[in-house]
Copies of this chain bind each other. A is one copy, B any other.
Amino acid sequence: MQTNDKLVIGGKEFQSRFILGSGKYSLKLIEAAVKYAGAEIITLAVRRANTKEQENILDYIPEGVTLLPNTSGARNAQEAVRIARLARELGCGNFVKVEIMRDAKYLLPDNQETIKATEILAKEGFVVMPYMYPDLNVARDLVNAGAATVMPLASPIGSNKGLATREFIQILIDEIDVPIIVDAGIGKPSQACEAMEMGAAAIMANTALATAGDLPVMASAFRQAIEAGRQAYLAGIGRVLTRGASASDPLTGFLHD
């Protein structure tokens, strides 16, 4: 089905609702993400962008793809702001994913420092996409601080555990007016599909692709699942019965009735 349904972030329009999360920038993963998953946004750890090794990696990014530098490695707002500015100086554009972690075991975002960095960077003209632990009060603060989207985690990054925060991501979708992009923890296409059915605006993934047996095929699966979930959301999902069954055929009933 062709639709005019588009994802808009920072005034820019995207057809695709799959975003490649930061990770191993193998040529193979980037190719698969763009060619098979249809990614139009690719996340990149900025620390890699100013090394010789990284120059090659930037060469891999196809034209027309929006680069989303992230502040991976930052432990507080100040470090994140510094990384974001460096990214812009390096020519990575004005989109930035704020990612601030204090916790080395679960790699959970520091919501409070993320709010601070978002406020500073939004004022400097960045399109700020903050990675966050799904907390309604924090999401409101992020929007007030100028966030262009809110990016709650589904479960701990790299875990492939799926929608452990389902209930609270639904609350964000219901209450927050910027696009909700589910980031981290999505392990299977069906989970991406479910998040989209709930009303998420997009899905960010990396580990689910990187750990799959066949990368291009899994990339293609994610693209289709995300499109399916979006369509289902737009179509309107049918009611669920609490008890009993319902014959779909009005003629159902027994032969001799």
- A238: chain B residues at CB < 8 Å are 160, 187, 207-208, 210-212
Instruction: Tell which of A102, A193, A229, A243 has the most Cβ of chain B within 10 Å.
Output: A193
Question: Is A27 in contact with chain B by the CB < 8 A criterion?
Answer: no
Q: Which residues of A232-257 are within 8 A (CB) of B?
A: 232, 234-241, 243-255
- A136: chain B residues at CB < 8 Å are 103, 106, 108
Task: Let me know if B108 and A137 touch, CB within 8 A.
Answer: yes
Task: Let me know if A137 and B157 touch, CB within 8 A.
Answer: no
Question: Is A7 in contact with chain B by the CB < 8 A criterion?
Answer: no
Contact of A161 among B164, B191, B215, B241 (CB under 8 A): B241
| Total copies of this chain within the assembly | 4
Task: Let me know if A48 and B188 touch, CB within 8 A.
Answer: no
Question: Is A105 in contact with chain B by the CB < 8 A criterion?
Answer: yes
Task: Let me know if B229 and A225 touch, CB within 8 A.
Answer: yes
Identify 14 new A-B residue pairs, CB closer than 8 A, beyond the known A1-B36, A159-B245.
A45-B252, A73-B255, A75-B255, A106-B136, A110-B137, A157-B246, A159-B240, A164-B168, A188-B232, A189-B232, A193-B228, A207-B238, A212-B237, A221-B230
20 A-B contacts, Cβ less than 8 Å apart?
A: A1-B217, A22-B248, A73-B255, A75-B255, A105-B244, A107-B245, A107-B252, A111-B137, A112-B112, A158-B247, A160-B239, A161-B167, A187-B240, A189-B193, A214-B234, A220-B228, A220-B231, A224-B224, A224-B228, A228-B228
